[in-house]
Structure formats: structure tokens, C-alpha cells
Structure 1
Amino acid sequence: MTALDTRSGTGPADTRAAGPLRRRIPELLHDPAFRRYWTGQTVSSLGDQVTLLVIPLIAATALHADAAQMGYLSAAGYLPYLLLSLHAGGWADRYGHRRRMMIAADLGRAAVLLTVPFAWGAGLLTLWQLYAAVLLTGALSVLFNVCNPPLFVALVPADQYLRGNALINGSRAATYVAGPGLGGLLVQLLAAPLTLVADALSFLASALFLRRIDPVEPPPAASGKGSTAEGMRWIRRDPVIRAALLGTATVNLFTFVVSALFVLYATRELGFSAGLLGAVLSAAAVGTLLGAALTGRLAARIGVGPAFLFGLVAFPAPLLLVPLAGGSTGGAALLFGAEFLSGIGVMILDITAGSIFAACIPNALRSRVQGAYQAVNFGVRPVGSLLGGLLGSTLGLRPALWIAAVGAVASGLWVLFSPIPRMRELPEPEPAPEAAPAPAGSTGTGT
């Protein structure tokens, strides 16, 4: 009997006996616990996509922010990942009860976002409050994210990691398509600050779905001196996750160089209208849907490790088309292709990476490793944006885009000579040794 059978009473035998429509539903979604978890993640992701559009709109239209202030607002969203991820991971592993912390993070994010429309309605909204809201929701998102991997492996059997990650990332890809359009519609129907109520409700829905599941979580790790940094030390020792971090951090650094320059390049050098630019950018979301559908078959054919390496290269390689773009018509076709193909690649990368992490990271260190990985992987993003501005202003937009695209493709070299390309199947999860008890008087928070 599989873990799926034990939890829900609906296993493969029940699926075979069911009707044709039921057999079309992925096996994991027959399990009520995973279905609730997946639904909460999907609803929350949809709200996030709305907020990604609405927060800058509020700053620009309601608060008349200038370019520098918009940059500060963007940086505020990433700062908590850089500053808090290591500590959040250590706290989550020592405290345990990750599901409770995720519920608390959801409720906290809902409360923070609701302060914005209330302050706007009272005529008290300022940029400083918007900065504070972005920082606080970012900090709570850090906590939510480091608690999420242990919950995923508690809900999903090891032989279903790829399918589970495909479902989570596939629904996330769908929100990339629907979210901006929904956000734009809500802004048309309501004032932009009131649209944040939709994201607050999505967090409340996520908390409700999490409240209705009760998986058997890994026990809290034994606390000890240096436990906060243990995730980074473990990554340094493990050749698989170390190579994955170096590869994904490098690709993030250089793709954020491209992101920082893309709109300026498309509008200033290629003469794109806002409508044409929006159509080009939407191609990436469509590509992610296709990538989510293809990843399982690709991993089954070539192996999960080679599929990861393929995604790491296939995500940035189409960006080489961006500096090749010339006139408006040909340029639109090249940029459309670049965004679409890059969307396929990033979804292959995300799904295989999540599955490899679920199989390779020990339960006792899972949140700490996630925190360390997140600190580096998200921390390089604002660095990439700043580097893009520097390269674009000193070398010009097209040379800067060439450097960024080539650098991003080269990220695959970190993985090429690691054990990952030889990983045909996901390894059996390995338990981590418990940390030594903390010395008398130790708080367990040292680094």
C-alpha cells in the first residue's frame, strides 16, 4: 500500500475502477490532503500575480512615485529573502509545526495587505507605508517558503515528487497567464488599492486549506550552536545541491540583467508599443504551461538529472534572440520566440529542481537548506538588476544583453561536471544525523 492509499483511501485500484473522467484526473489530486494543499497554493499564487501588477500601479498612480522610488519599492520585495532566509530556515527546523507557521504567515500577509486599502480610503496612504507593507509581506513569504518543502514531502510519496511538482508549478504557470489580466480587470472595476483585497482573500483561502490538512511532519531538529548556518554548510558539502545552487544562482543573476533592460530595449531601440510589448511578455506565461506539461515526459525519457541540466540551459538560451532582434516586425517575432521558449525552459528547470531537492535534502535540515538556498538564489536578483543598469549605461543596451545572455547560458557549466547529469532516477531520501545537543547556556542561535 502506498502512502497515498494510507492517507486518503483512494489509490491506484480505486482509480482503475472509476470512470473515464476520474482516471483523467492526476492520481495525487484524488488525495484530499494534497488537493487542498494544491488548491491553496494555486489560489495564493493567483493573488500574488494580481499584487505584482497592482503594487507598482498604486505607487505610480496613487502616490506619484518617481523612478528612484519605484526602484526602492522593487528592492524592498527582495530584501527579506537576503536578510532573513537563513534565520527563518533555522527557526522552522528547530520549532517544527511548519503547517502552523505557514497558516500564521498567510494570515499575517492578509492583514498587512488590508492596511493599504484602509489607509487609502482614509486618505492616509504614503509611500513609506507601501514600503513597509512590501517588506513585511516579503518577510512572511520567506517564512512560508522555508516551511513549504517539509510539508510537500509529508504529503507526496517519493515516487510522485515529479508529478507533485508538475502540478504545483503547472497551476502556478496558469496564474501567470490569468493573474495580470485579472489584476488589470479589477483595477478597471475598482481603484488600484482596493484590488489588494483580492490578494488578501487569496491568503485567507490558503490558510483555510492548510487548516484542513494534518500531515505527519518531520520532527523538530535538535538545536545546537551553529544550527542557523547548518543549511549553508550542508549545501557546501553536498555535490548535487551545491552544483544546483551555483547553476540557478548564476542563471538568475544574468536573467535579471536581461529583465532590467528588456522593456527599455524593446521600447527605445525596437520601438514597441505598450500593446505589442504586453503581447510579447505574455508569451512566456504560455510557454510555462507547455513546459509544465512536457517535463514529466522529458524526465522519463532522458532522466531527471539530464532534464534539470536541459532546463538550466533551455531557460536562458532563447534570450540570445533578444540582442539579435532588429526592426519592429522581425524583432517582435524574435522576442516572442525568446519569451515563449524561455518559459518552457524555466518550468522544466523549476519542476526538476524541486523534485531533486525533495529527494536529496534530509528532513532534519530541509527548512535550513531551503533558507540558505533562497538567500543566495533570491539575493542575486537585485544584484543582477543593478548590474544590468551599470552595463546598459556604460556599454549600451545591445552589448549588455549579449553579455547577460551568454553568461546565463554558461550557468550550465556548474552542473555539467557534477553528479546531476548522471542522475537518471531520483535517489531515495536520506535522513540527516541529528545535531549535537546545545551546550549549557547556549541559545542555539549562533552562526
Structure 2
Amino acid sequence: MKETLHDSTASPSEPPVFQPIPLRKQRDYRLLWSARTSSITGSEVSRLAIPLTAITLLSASPAQMGVLTAAAFVPTLLLGLHAGAIADRLRRHRPLMIGCELVSALAALSVPAAWLAGTLSVTWLIVVALVIGTAATLFKAANFPHLAAVVHADQRTEALAGFHASYSVASVAGPGLAGALVQFLTAPIAVLVEGVSFLVSAFLLRSIRTPEHNEPAPSRGLTRDVAEGLRATITDPTLRALLGSGTTINFFAMAYTAVHMLFMVKVLDIPEGLLGLLTAVSGAGGLLGAWVTTRLVRRFGENRILLGSVLFFPLSIVTVALLDGPLWWKLTMLLSTGLITGGIVVAFATSLGAVILRDAPVEVRGRVNSTINFATQGVMALGGLLGGLLAELIGLRPVIWICAAGIALSSVWIWASPLRTSHRP
């Protein structure tokens, strides 16, 4: 990574002070950011195109759709911990990342090819989802420590905020692009965009020039390596707090996700056509959050951002639970809280990633990140299942209140941790 020398005011006896070049002027960071944005946007397109292919062209049954949906999460549950151990064994992470993108591209491109050949089936789509999910799990495990090689330590929070901004852009633009492609090109051909996006990502990653000098710790076997990552995460008070808080948030957030659309349509009488607008506003809030977070972190530090942002997580859920009145008032409140919550989520996620990079020992950094991802992503399926079952037993509104209370518990993890008392920013 390039740095610029800034020593115009330094005395001859003082060591020179190095100032990192702004990220927007760093070629390799721009390439890395563009690669992720391309890949994520393509994935957002396929999130609509693949299920529509299964439903409209292959007459998939509800059971088959359930398996197809679950297939995207299975690799994280099966390989999430091991992926981190694999990443920590590597001296260079970029070749694995490029390989994952190429494998994903081939899998995605096989969908329109099989459709044109008349051999496409639901089983084929499930296998494709498993392959892409596996590649994505390995990619994420390698990408996290790779960021440390490309970006200066003082700029990692800003870099992570940039990645979350690309997620927000994709969440806003992806569904609209997918709808247009499905309408004009048919669903299987729309998946072609995902395949091309993976190829573009691989090409951009291949163009990065920053050398990697990772020195992996000696491996004691995959199982012991995984156990060491778990131990490093659980025994460190700060990392344990991040693990507990993230897991709590995602569990209750998915329980809420399982019922909130039904609640909005059936109870709040929100027109179905406006639900997409509410989702887009949340994505726009994420963009705003990415911009604001980098500025707030410079002033207050990651610790204080985590302490403050976690308090606002229940805001949108409590608003939904209390909401009543005319449609214009409901929409005003939902749009406002959605914008705020979108920004809060990005601020929290960005600061969480920066603290992991800062506090996790370098030799287990990939395993710590994968351990936290494994837990926070793995509970999502359980949370969604619980939300649906509870709604059948006690009703929609009580479940929403339970989710608000559950997410509020995440603040206990953060405020009871060294993040509150540490003198570090």
C-alpha cells in the first residue's frame, strides 16, 4: 500500500510522519471496492431471478422452494468455521478470492446454458446455490484479512464503511434491475448478469498490485485451528461481546423479518406496492450511514459508535408495534425510522468489523471473523423459524414486541464489555 511522506514541519531529529493517501485515490482499494460492488449487485439480481426461474419455469413445489432457499445458508453452517482456519493458513489470500469468483461465475452461467439446452431443473438450481454459497463462504473468510494488506490500519474503518455502502447500493438497485431483466430477458437469462458480475470481480481482483506478506502461524490440524479461533473469540471480553451482540441482533431481527410484512399488510393496511419503497429507503439510509460513520469515527472512535448505535436498534420495531392512524402518518414514520435504522445498521457493522481487525490477534484474525460470521448468520434460520411459530401461537403484534425487547438485549453485551471502559477510541 502506498503512503505519502509528510515532514514539512518535522525537525531533523524527529522521525518522519507518514500520512496514508486518501482511499479514493488508492488504485488497489478502488479495484477491491469495485470488485465487491460488482459481485454483490449480481447476487442481488439472482436473489429474485433464481426463485422466479424455479417457480415460473420449473413449477417448483413449496418443499423444493424451501430447500432452494436454505441452500444458500447451508455452506455457512457447514464450512463457516473451517473457512476461517483455511484463510489463516494462507500467505496470500487474493488467489483464493479470485478462484472463488471464477467458480461462482461458472455455476451462475450454467443456469442460462442449461435452460437453453432444455436440461435445467430445480435440483440444478439447488446445486448452483450450494456451489455459489460455498465459494462465498470461502471468499468472505479470505477477504477480511486481505483488507488489512490493501488498506492502512488508520483507514480500515473508512474502507469497511465503503464496502457497506456498496451493499446498500446493491440492495436499492439490485431488485429493480432484476425486475427489469426478468421482464425483458426472462428469469434464467437474468442470472447471466450474476455470472458476468463474478467474472468482472475476478478480473478486478487480478489487477490489484499490493503485495501480500501474511505470515501464518504453524497449523496444528484443521480441527485444532478451528478450536483456537473459537477460543480466541470467546475468551477475549471485547470479541465475546461482539459475538454475543451480533448473534442476539440477528436472531431477533430474523424473527421480526418472518412476520413484519404480514403485519404491515394485514394489520397496518400498508399497500403491497409500497413495501419495496420501504426497503429502498432502508438501503438509502445505509448509504447515508456509511458516509456519516467515517466522520463520526474520526471524532469519537469505533468504541463509542458501537455503544451509541446499539441503543437505536429497537427503534424501527417499536415504531411498527405502536403505529396507528392514517396511511400518510404510517408511511411517514416507517420511512423515517427505516432511513435511521439503515444508517445505524451500517454504523454498527462497520465499527464491529474495524474492532475485530484492531483487537483480534493477526494469526487468528480470519478465524475470529469467521467464528462471529458463523454464529451471527447461523442463528438467522432459527430466528425466522421461531418468529413464524410464535406468531401462530400468540399473534403478530406480541411477536413484534418480543423482537424489540430481544434486540434491546444486545446493548447489554456492548455496554458491559471493555468497549465502555477502554481508553482506546
TM-score using structure 1 length: 0.87
Instruction: Provide closer, same or farther for how the CA distance between residues 279 and 233 of structure 1 changes in structure 2, counting only shifts above 3 A.
Output: same
Going from structure 1 to structure 2, the CA distance change for 1:94 and 1:400 (only over 3 Å counts) comes to: same
Matched, 1:63 2:58: yes
Counterpart position of 2:241: 243
Q: Distance in 2 between matches of 1:11 and 1:312?
A: 38
Asked if structure 2 preserves the Cα contact closer than 8 Å seen for 1:270 and 1:328, the reply is: no
278, 288, 301: which one aligns with 1:303: 301
CA deviation string 1:97-150 (max 9, x = no partner): 211111110001111111111122222222111111111111110000000111
Further displaced range: 279-288 or 98-107: 279-288
Question: How many Å separate the matches in 1 of 2:115 and 2:363?
Answer: 44
1:411-426 matched pairs, under 5 angstroms: 411-423=410-422, 425=424
Q: 1:76 — aligned with what?
A: 71
1:371 corresponds in structure 2 to: 370
Query: Which residue is 1:191 aligned to?
Result: 186
Find the counterpart in structure 1 of residue 353 from structure 2: 354
Aligned partners of 2:40 and 2:170 also within 8 Å:
yes
Q: 2:148 aligns with which of 150, 153, 174?
A: 153
Is 1:107 aligned with 2:102?
A: yes
- Give % identity: 37
- Correspondence list, 1:240-319, <5 A: 240-319=238-317
Whether the 8 Å CA contact 1:103–1:211 is kept in 2: the answer is yes
Deviations 1:204-248 (A, max 9, x none): 111111111243241233111411221111001111111001001
Question: What is the CA distance between 1:52 and its match in structure 2?
Answer: 1.9
* Contact 1:306/1:422 (<8 A) preserved: no
Residue in 2 that maps onto 1:387: 386
Say which SS state the counterpart of residue 222 (structure 1) adopts: coil
8 Å CA contact 2:92, 2:212 repeated in 1: no
CA contact (8 A) 1:76 1:131 kept: yes
The one of 151, 163, 169 aligned to 1:168: 163
The change in CA–CA distance for 1:399 and 1:342 in structure 2 (over 3 A counts) is same
Aligned residue number for residue 402 of structure 2: 403
CA distance in 1, matches of 2:326, 2:133: 38
Instruction: Report what 1:340 is aligned to.
Output: 339
Partner of 2:112: 117
How many angstroms apart in 2 are the aligned matches of 1:252 and 1:39?
27
- CA-atom RMSD, angstroms? 1.9
**Cα distance per residue 1:161-195 (max 9 Å; x no partner):** 12211222222222222111111111122111111
Of 222, 228, 231, 1:230 maps to: 228
Give aligned pairs, total: 408
CA deviation digits over 1:264-287, x for unaligned, max 9?
Answer: 112222233321111122211111
In the alignment, residue 259 of structure 2 is paired with which amino acid? Answer: L
User: Where does the alignment leave 5 or more consecutive residues of structure 1 unmatched?
Assistant: 14-25, 427-447
Q: Supply the AA of the counterpart residue of 2:340.
A: L
Separation in 1, partners of 2:67, 2:368: 28
* 8 Å Cα contact 1:272/1:328 also seen in 2: no
Q: CA deviation at 1:12?
A: 7.1
The answer to whether the 8 A contact 2:314-2:404 is kept is: yes
More displaced, 269-278 or 356-365? 269-278
| Distance verdict in 2 for CA 1:309–1:262, change over 3 Å | same
Q: In the alignment, which residue of structure 2 is the partner of 1:136? A: 131
Task: After superposition, give the CA deviation of every residue in 1:5-31 in whole Å (9 maximum; x if it has no partner).
Answer: 2xxxx6779xxxxxxxxxxxx811212
**Alignment gaps of 5+ in structure 2:** 8-20
Give 1:424 deviation, angstroms. Answer: 5.9
Report the counterpart of residue 216 of structure 2 in structure 1.
220
Q: Indicate the larger mover: 48-57 or 108-117.
A: 48-57
Distance in 2 between residues matched to 1:134 and 1:405, nearest whole Å: 32
Secondary structure of the residue aligned to 1:204 is helix
Q: 1:177 to 1:27 in 2, by over 3 A?
A: same
Tell me, in whole angstroms, the C-alpha distance in 2 between the residues paired with 1:342 and 1:388.
Answer: 20
CA drift at 1:96: 3.3
Write the distance in 2 (CA, Å) between the matches of 1:342 and 1:70.
30
1:309–1:415 contact (8 Å) kept in structure 2: yes
Q: Aligned-pair distance for 1:46?
A: 1.3
8 Å CA contact retained: 1:149, 1:367? yes
How far apart in 2 are the matches of 1:112 and 1:280? Answer: 32
**Separation in 2, partners of 1:186, 1:272:** 27
Query: Which whole-Å CA distance do the structure 2 matches of 1:146 and 1:266 have between them?
Result: 37
